Amino acid sequence: MAYEPPVTDYDEIVENCTCAFCGSNCDDVDILVKDNHVVGVRHACRLGASKIMEDEDQRLTVPMIRDENGELMEVDWDTALDRAAELIAGAVRPVFYGWSETSIEAMKPGLELTELVGAVIDNQATICHGPTVQAVQNVGYPLMTLGEVKNRADMVVYTGSNPMNAHPRHLARYTTFPKGFFRKRGRFDRTLVTWDPKYSDTAKLSDIWIPFEENGDYGFCNAIRAVLKGKELKQDFISGIPKEDIVALTEKMKNTQFGALFFGLGLTHTLSKQRNIDIAIQLVQDLNKYTKWVLLPMRGHFNVNGFNIFMAYEMGFPYGVDFCRGYPRYMIGETTTIDLLNRKECDVFMVIAADPGAHFPGGALAHLVDIPVIQIDIHWGPSTELADVVLPGTFIGVETAGTSYRMDSVPIYMKKAIDPPETCREDEWIVNELLQRVKKIKEASK
Amino acid sequence: MTYIEKPSISNVVKFEDPDVAQVKKLTVMLNTGTDIYQGACKKRGSTLKDEYRKVAGVCYMDPKDMARLGVGNWESVLVKSDWGEVVVYAAHSRDAPHEGMIFIPKGPWANVVVSPETYCCSDPTYKGIKATVEKTDKEVLLMADLMRDVYKKYVKEGDKPEELPSLGEMPVYKKIRSG
């Protein structure tokens, strides 16, 4: 990478902004502003900086709909909103997917709209930490805040996740490197352990790397639990790891003062899915007979946890909530987005602040070809290639203020640094406008 | 401004390695997931650009596996699974050795070959998929062309997407006020 001189040409620094990228929600980011444009970012990681210094070529600036030739055509806000409202009001089984990269404030009218039309509301948890949420419902949630880990943890374990690639400041800001109240020497007072089949960038920094086999997580966690309970391991190798190593690791884990286990999508995306998390949580429960252990899922988007908390608080269910019968229902594998698409059930798909085009398997995306898709987003992405109505939103945390929840469920108010482009509208305004227009159509047809 | 050109990958594929036998097709386990280059490019919004193809349309392989197939860095390979096939670049993995395993960062290219099956758990199976890799002469497509080729949502009947002109690296739409 070429050397870039520091940015010195700016009007003002907006201090302590919150980064709107991953679940770490770093709230110490300084944004350098000139003429209502971001010219530089301080303290953010590579991911956060690249998101805040957005690609203006691909910014969605005007509402668009497809013409009869299938080409996107710029229209005014009224036309685009009316078209979207018509589609939603006329749908039998609409799905409103996304919400993880917008604020809690925008979810409120979204939920009202969902109830009004009897839709399914779902977020990105459905394709990432959905099994985690199920496992938490199965066996509990030995949770902490990241501040506790910073001040107390002397052993940090990452499994099925690669924070150096996905949450680059997680180790530096919360878990491994910072000096804490009881960990005065920072990194030197802590043992960093990675359980991952891959020699990932996090494994490269770790003190201990346990390369169990692909799909070996379930067996490996169970082997540790067996050792904890005083049982003898009968096989010489479990999930590719020699039994002496498992016994030695278990001893180490028992003899820590405060341990923290962080797990990511490596556990939820393999075949055992929520059973992997069940066993990880039960492992932490067993370890608590000896010493203090806690665990936390590494949530991906800055507000993916916020949606789950918001929905659980408002409706009693965390994601994939179906209102088609007039009351909220939640049934994993029935009312979740991928299953609805696989079964070709939904007839209008609204995606807000998400990119299914980039992240859904092709088999599920195939159904989006047959049905109208409404997109509310800030950038032209793979989903725009499948969208029939495009409504440009604003950038939460840079152009619009809003509330989000960090991965450890701490709410953070994200302030704004610059004004949004004139032709864009806030997500909250767009969803509210859709709600009012759908209400009007419903009342007229009574 | 561009933060990423290419992930720095040293060219250590030894084609004359006496330990490896040349094969036409390799059976591997496919993993997908995030990667810092893919994440930075995607969230910046540069998904139409050539840069996105270089960071997400790429298959990170063990150098020994690459020697077996006879492919070098940034040459095209065809990845096939039960759910589809896609042309991506081959590149030497930073996390090697992991023979028999390939990694494609999440994105439109990986989507074509991953399994949509959720086994009633809401979550599709993005990791641990059986796939084959072989050398190919085909070009890796840009994002917009790939979406058109694979899903054909707005392709008119009778048109063959592979024969249409490329959609390019900039957003294409009709503006109200021309100029």
State pLDDT tens for residues A203-229: 888 999 898 888 888 999 999 999 999
CA distances to A56, A154, B40 from A188, in Å: 43, 9, 30
ipTM for the predicted complex comes to 0.91
Give start and end residues of each alpha helix (H) in B11-74: 36-44, 50-56, 63-69
Domains A57-127+302-444 and A130-297 share a fold: no
Query: Which among A74, A201, A358 has the least Cβ separation from residue B174?
Result: A74
Rounded mean pLDDT, B103-130: 92
Domains and CATH numbers, chain B: 25-140 (2.40.40.20)
A215 near B CB under 8 A: yes
Q: Do A289 and A278 meet the contact criterion of CB atoms below 8 Å apart? A: no
Nearest residue, CB atoms, A361 vs list B35, B96, B115: B115
Q: How far B176 CA lies from chain A's nearest CA (Å)? A: 6
Provide, as residue numbers in chain B, all residues whose Cβ is less than 8 Å from the Cβ of A161: none
Q: Which residues, numbered 101 to 130 in chain A, qualify as contacts with chain B under a Cβ-Cβ cut-off of 8 Å?
A: 126-128, 130
**pLDDT band at residue B179, thresholds of 50, 70 and 90?**
very low
Q: Show the tokens assigned to A331.
A: 């049934």
Report pLDDT digits (tens) over A116-141: 999 999 999 999 999 999 899 889 88
Mean pLDDT of all residues in A59-70: 92
Q: How far apart are CA A178 and CA A161, in angstroms?
A: 20
Residue with tokens 């409706």: A315
* Residues A130-297, CATH architecture: 3-Layer(aba) Sandwich (3.40)
pLDDT score for B4: 36
CATH 3.40.50.740 describes domain A57-127+302-444: yes
Whole-number pLDDT of residue A279: 93
A166–chain B nearest CA distance, Å: 6
Q: Which two tokens stand for residue A209?
A: 């790397």
> Residue B96's closest chain A neighbor by CA?
A199
- What residue segments make up the domains of chain A, in order of their start? 12-52, 57-127+302-444, 130-297
Q: Do A215 and B128 touch (CB under 8 A)?
A: yes
Q: B18-55, pLDDT tens digit by residue?
A: 667 788 899 999 999 988 999 999 999 999 999 999 99
Cα–Cα distance for residue pair A18/A428, rounded to 1 Å: 19
Mean pLDDT rounded to a whole number for chain A: 93
Average pLDDT score over residue span A244-264: 94
What is the C-alpha separation between A171 and A176, in angstroms, rounded?
5
Contact between residue A407 and residue A417 where contact means Cβ atoms under 8 Å apart: no
Q: Among A124, A89, A70, which Cα is nearest to A347's?
A: A89
Q: Which residues on chain B are in Cβ contact (under 8 Å) with A338?
A: 116, 118, 122-124
Interface of B with A in 71-130 (CB under 8 A): 83-84, 94-98, 101, 103, 106-108, 111-128
- pLDDT for the residue B96: 76
Q: How far is CA B95 from CA A204, B33, B37, in A?
A: 9, 14, 15
How many Cα atoms occupy the beta-carbon half-sphere of A290 within 13 Å? 19
In this structure, which amino acid lies at residue A351? V
Percentage of residues of chain A with pLDDT beyond 90: 84
Kindly list the residues from chain A whose CB atom is less than 8 angstroms away from the CB atom of residue B116. 338, 341-342, 360-364
Closest by alpha carbon to A26, among A55, A53, A47, A54? A47
pTM, two decimals, is: 0.92
User: How close is the nearest chain A Cα to the Cα of B24, in Å?
Assistant: 25
Cβ(A366)–Cβ(A340) under 8 Å?
A: no
Structure tokens given for A388? 């029939």
% chain B with pLDDT above 90: 51
The answer to whether A369 contacts chain B (CB < 8 Å) is yes
> What are the chain A neighbours of B173 within 8 Å (beta carbons)?
64, 71-74
- Least CB–CB distance from A71: residue in B48, B119, B173: B173
Which pair of structure tokens corresponds to residue A87?
């589609």
